[in-house]
């Protein structure tokens, strides 16, 4: 029986390592997915900057057009001024020119602000483009690393699967069935050592008589609480690489 239990312990160890490798296999692709999300945000920000840049250029064209219109209105008002007949008309024309010139100054100030914003956006645009390029390079590099990592993990997994099938062959079929169903219902652990009378998986004490029986190691025993297959955790024969006798 001890030999069978020893195989189950090794099998559980093997299954634990397989589980670790399987979740490790998820890590790389998950990291890449995270980076792709980050890249999407960067690209979205860049797109926003581009749109703002376009909008600013449109504003600039509009303001320039308005300034041009004002200039021609100033010219027209100037002609009007030359042809006034009365002092009242003269005063009115002067007032009109004055108002037009003030409006023009106001528009020109606005145009300067827009130009400054365009300049700023162009700086941001260059920086954003560089940032995206660098980020893409990083993602590519990471993708390569992850692919390499995955290949190595696959190799290790294959080896462990082989090891696992060796253990499965060596264990009694009924016991293996029990092991597999226990494993499924007990977060991956079907076998538990009992040390100083306590099941190391569920931490419940085993009755003294049963613990003494476990130390003798004659039959297959289960934890009365978690139902896992138990063995004496301090049994030298069940530790290390030596194969215990039947
Ligand atoms: Zn237990």
Cα separation, 30 vs 23, whole angstroms = 11
Question: Considering Cα of 156, then 157, then 158, then 160, what sign does the dihedral take?
Answer: positive
- Whether 14 maps to a domain, the answer reads no
Rounded average pLDDT per 10-residue block, the chain, 246 residues: 92 96 96 96 94 95 95 90 89 91 94 95 93 96 96 97 96 96 91 96 96 92 96 88 54
**Final residue of a structural domain among 147, 168, 189:** 168
Report CA(179)–ligand 1 centroid distance (Å).
Answer: 14
With 0.85 as the threshold, say if the pTM is over it: no
What does the pLDDT read at residue 242?
54
Distance (angstroms) between ligand 1 centre and the Cα of 218 equals 19
First-to-final CA distance of the chain: 6
pLDDT at 186: 83
Residue 183 Cα to ligand 1 midpoint, Å, equals 13
CA of 1 to the centre of ligand 1 (A): 20
User: What angle do helix axes 2-82 and 87-170 make, rounded to 10 degrees?
Assistant: 170
Which of 125, 150, 168 represents a domain boundary (last residue)?
168
158 and 178, same domain (yes or no)? no
CA 117 to CA 146: how far, in whole Å? 42
Distance 67 CA to ligand 1 centre (A): 87
Residue 93 C-alpha to ligand 1 middle, in angstroms? 102
Same domain (yes/no): 187, 107:
no
Q: How many domains does the chain have?
A: 2
**CATH number, residue 152:** 1.10.287.1490
> What does residue 140 show for φ and ψ, rounded to 5 degrees?
-60, -45
């Amino acid at each position: 029986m001890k030999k069978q239990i020893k195989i189950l312990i090794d099998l559980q160890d093997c299954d634990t390592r397989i589980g670790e490798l399987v979740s490790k296999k998820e890590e790389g692709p998950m990291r890449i997915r995270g980076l792709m999300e980050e890249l999407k945000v960067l690209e979205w920000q860049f797109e926003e900057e581009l749109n703002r840049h376009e909008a600013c250029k449109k504003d600039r064209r509009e303001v320039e057009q308005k300034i041009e219109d004002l200039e021609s209105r100033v010219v027209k008002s100037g002609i009007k001024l030359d042809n006034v007949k009365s002092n009242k008309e003269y005063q009115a024309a002067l007032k009109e020119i004055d108002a037009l010139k003030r409006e023009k100054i106001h528009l020109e100030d606005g145009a300067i602000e827009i130009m400054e914003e365009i300049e700023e956006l162009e700086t941001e645009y260059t920086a954003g483009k560089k940032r995206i390029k660098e980020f893409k390079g990083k993602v590519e590099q990471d993708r390569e690393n992850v692919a390499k990592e995955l290949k190595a993990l696959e190799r290790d997994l294959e080896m462990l699967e082989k090891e696992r099938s060796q253990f499965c062959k060596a264990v009694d079929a009924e016991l293996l069935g029990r092991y597999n169903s226990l494993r499924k219902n007990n977060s991956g652990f079907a076998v538990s050592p009992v040390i100083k009378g306590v099941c190391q998986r569920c931490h419940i004490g085993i009755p003294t008589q049963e613990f003494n029986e476990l130390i003798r190691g004659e039959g297959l025993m289960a934890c009365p609480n978690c139902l896992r297959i138990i063995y004496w955790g301090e049994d030298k024969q069940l530790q290390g690489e030596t194969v215990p006798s039947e």
